[in-house]
Structure 1
Amino acid sequence: MVLAAGRGERMRPLTDQTPKPLLPVRGQPLMLWPMQALARGGFVHQLINTAWLGEQIPTLLGDQAHWPELPEVHIRYSHEGQDFGRALETAGGIVRALPQLDEVFWVVAGDVFAPDMVFTQPAVARFAASAALAHLWLVPNPTHNPGGDFGLSEAGQVLNLPKGSPDCAYTFSTVALYKKAFFADCGLPAGNPEGVALALAPLLRAAMDRGQVTGEVYAGDWTDVGTPQRLAQLNRSSA
């Protein structure tokens, strides 16, 4: 699942006419980077959620994507904006799409640049065979999030720690594997028929406290394209 429903308030005025995942990064719309990386790993059935200016995304991509030297990608959509008039936040959007997703599925953000991320079938198999309900890729805390999001034990358990504590050394990259069971106790039925907005972080922290979230560190290039300045820096660095 590719998350592409947000308003992108901090990116205004760039996002007044263009959804943030379609802003150009190094020669192509930002969301194509994770979509192409997924395709490179053989994950060719992808679902995109939309809301703000969401009609622009299927207009660009359609139901199939063809990129040089990559397998054809089959695309489905969850149109939160059309169905409910707004985005449903991360967990609400995932639960809305849940009936269309496999028992184990990737979630990536369409507004994060992580060109070195490699999506593999063995990663899915290891996670599916584990007792964990979520597996997160973490990055060392960037300058815009010095207090961090989570800790990581030597055994690979993601830890719910107070922001700014010494061991809260990692920030969630937004790349993750989930099992449908992760969302079983979120309070919403699969399909989220009422269109309830629900944040993901509280669900993750509760699952961490139960020992159900594992993780690993992604050491490649990573940018949360959250401001016009970060977008400009990315495009300058490719020149």
Structure 2
Amino acid sequence: MRHALIFAAGLGERMRPLTDHTPKPLLRVGGKPLIEWHLEKLADAGVHYVVINTSHLAEQFPDALGDGSRWGLRIRYAYEGDTPLETGGGMLNALPLLGAEPFITVSGDIWCDADFGRLPAEPAGLAHLLMVDNPAHHPHGDFALGPDGLLHGHGGPRLTFSGVGVFRPGLLQHWQRAIGHAAGALRTPPAFKLVPLLRAAMAHEAVTGSYHGGLWTDVGTPERLQQIDAWLQVHHPVDND
């Protein structure tokens, strides 16, 4: 049974005022909430169990999505409190619900046409990241993808992490070593970003990647929300009958 984690705890500050009363992953694009596109793709990929981490307006997620049965999924919710725990802290907080096997991750504020079923069930190292071309708002990218499939924190050319990947829980085993005294590390529960852990693992050639050349967007602003909504209305119309 494949498991998955959807990051849905962000405050959606760049999306205000739309996110004042609705969490960003529940904003509608192409006729349905953004997060529903992810749930459908995960179900198609053979995932049966999904953990959704929540914070901002957390009560709206179970109200909108229920237990996941309408997609053939079982959904559990990992509440992070009133303040989101960042990507690393959020993943650490969700681990007790995810188990010991590798799991797929999806950022709740993206849209892409990647086939999640093509992601490796067992990453060669501690993580496998789906990489995309650098968007205009992130021109310098995140990591370099080598011809051997290894990702590197330095060098180039650089690509952008799509927010979709496969992770082993072991990536978080020594998170304190990678984070050090960063702000939030001493909180209970701790709040920290995932990037330092990935860079530490990359230094030991423990992170692989693959390139996705299809459609992908970070739905981070009202303008980009409108753009992907208009595109989906034409190319993927939803039958509401």
The TM-score range, normalised by the shorter chain, is 0.7 to 0.9
- Per-residue CA deviation, residues 108-147 of structure 1 (Å, 9 max, x unaligned), is 0111001x2212277204x2xx2x1010000011111111
Shift of 1:63: 1.4
Q: Equivalents in 2 of 1:12, 1:63: separation in Å? A: 28
Q: CA RMSD in A?
A: 1.8
1:77 aligned residue: 77
1:61 aligned residue: 65
Q: 1:90 aligns with which of 87, 90, 93?
A: 87
2:49 aligned residue: 45
Kindly report which structure 2 residues correspond to 1:177-192, keeping only aligned pairs within 5 A, or say none.
Answer: 177-187=166-176
Q: Equivalents in 2 of 1:196, 1:123: separation in Å? A: 29
Q: Equivalents in 1 of 2:133, 2:119: separation in Å? A: 24
1:171 is paired with a residue of what secondary structure?
strand
Q: Equivalents in 1 of 2:142, 2:119: separation in Å? A: 27
Kindly report which structure 2 residues correspond to 1:8-19, keeping only aligned pairs within 5 A, or say none.
Answer: 8-19=12-23
Q: Equivalents in 1 of 2:51, 2:118: separation in Å? A: 18
Verify the 8 A CA contact 1:3 1:107 in the aligned structure 2: yes
Answering whether residue 167 of structure 2 is matched by residue 173 of structure 1, we say no
Shift of 1:194: 2.2
Equivalent residue letter for 2:73:
V
Equivalent residue letter for 1:20:
K
5+ long unaligned stretches in structure 2: 178-185, 235-241
Kindly report which structure 2 residues correspond to 1:82-161, keeping only aligned pairs within 5 A, or say none.
Answer: 85-102=82-99, 103-114=101-112, 116-120=113-117, 123-125=120-122, 127=123, 130=124, 132-161=125-154
Verify the 8 A CA contact 2:127 2:206 in the aligned structure 1: yes
Equivalent residue letter for 1:185:
H
TM-score (norm 1): 0.87
Verify the 8 A CA contact 1:112 1:223 in the aligned structure 2: yes
1:232 is paired with a residue of what secondary structure?
helix
Q: Which 4+ residue blocks in structure 1 deviate beyond 6 angstroms?
A: none
Give % identity: 45
Change (3 A) 1:73 1:193: farther
5+ long unaligned stretches in structure 1: none
Verify the 8 A CA contact 1:108 1:174 in the aligned structure 2: yes
TM-score (norm 2): 0.87
Equivalent residue letter for 1:86:
T
